[in-house]
Amino acid sequence: MDFKTRLSETFPGALEAADYLRLTTDALAPLGFTAENTIGCVGLCRDELCRPLADDVHDAWGEAFNFSSLGGMLLLGRTGFGAAHAHSPIFEGRERYVYYCMPHIGIGPGGEIGQCERPGREAPSKACGALAALCAEIDGGCLKFGRDPDDLEQSLLRERLLRVLEWGHTPDLLEVTHAARRAIQADLERAIELTVDTDRADYAAFTGIQIHGPGARTLVHAGPSWAAVGGERRAIEGLPMA
The tens digit of pLDDT for each residue in 149-183 reads: 999 999 999 999 999 998 878 899 999 999 999 99
Give the pLDDT of residue 240.
60
Buried b (16+ CB within 10 A) or exposed e, 7-20: beebbeebbebbeb
Question: Domain coordinates of the chain in residue numbers?
Answer: 3-129+181-225
Tell me the pLDDT band of 123, cut-offs 50, 70 and 90. Answer: confident
Give the pLDDT of residue 242.
41
Spatial distance between the Cα atoms of 115 and 110, rounded to a whole number of angstroms = 9
Spatial distance between the Cα atoms of 111 and 214, rounded to a whole number of angstroms = 10
H/E stretch holding 39 reads strand 39-43
Q: Are strands 94-101 and 39-43 parallel, antiparallel or unpaired?
A: parallel
For residues 85-91, average pLDDT: 96
The mean of the pLDDT values for the chain is 92
Lowest mean pLDDT among 1-10, 17-26, 136-145: 136-145
3-state secondary structure of 173: helix
Residue 104 confidence (pLDDT) above 60: yes
Q: Which amino acid is at 115?
A: Q
For residues 218-240, average pLDDT: 90
Give the closest residue to 59 by CA, choosing from 35, 26, 43: 35
| Global confidence as pTM | 0.93
Give the closest residue to 202 by CA, choosing from 91, 114, 101: 91
Spatial distance between the Cα atoms of 74 and 43, rounded to a whole number of angstroms = 7
- Range of 165-169, 212-216, 222-226 with top mean pLDDT: 222-226
Q: Are strands 201-213 and 217-229 parallel, antiparallel or unpaired?
A: antiparallel
